[in-house]
Amino acid sequence: MKKKTILDLDRLSAEQFHAAPKLPLTVVLDNVRSLNNIGSIFRTCDAFAVERLVLCGISQPPPSPEIHKTALGAEDSVDWSYFATTAEAVDALQAAGYVVCCLEQVEGSVSLEAFRPDTERRYAVIAGHEVDGVDQLIVNRCDHCLEIPQFGTKHSLNVAVSTGITIWHFFNHLHIK
């Protein structure tokens, strides 16, 4: 097998991507501090045509050389917005009819593998701070709390990795509209 070249991949331009149908999923970052994680999440949102990335609190928005280093330009293709607080973002998303889920280990969480999103709904998934996770006040406002099953010795995954796994789950269950 021969590796594909960049020309073989026939990717969309940023302008074409903006106009293309999107997955009915918005990703919200609750005070994610690492610009490399933010850039990586931008890149994953681009790969799976996520409708929007919402940055909140200390989650720095573009432009940033550190975000660009891992986003590789996805910060220009993925629609994004910024809210001073995650609570403001949650209020806006719920008012717009989104089902808001947080990615967090909580009592009564739903295992990601068991969660089946409704194809007629739009979703928002909140990923949290690298050490503290999603703020408890935000967890309390969510419609669902999703947890990725883990079997090793560590209690959590990197925020960019867990967000990527979650985006992939939604991508497999929802249709791009």
- The domain made up of 17-173 has a fold known as Alpha/beta knot (3.40.1280)
| Residue ranges covered by each domain of the chain | 17-173
For the segment 113-147, what is each residue's pLDDT rounded down to a tens digit? 999 999 999 999 999 999 999 999 999 999 999 99
Q: What is the percentage of the chain residues whose pLDDT exceeds 70?
A: 100
Q: How many CB atoms lie within 10 A of CB 162?
A: 22
First to last CA, the chain: 33
In the predicted structure, residue 175 carries a pLDDT above the cut 90: no
pLDDT of res. 15 = 93
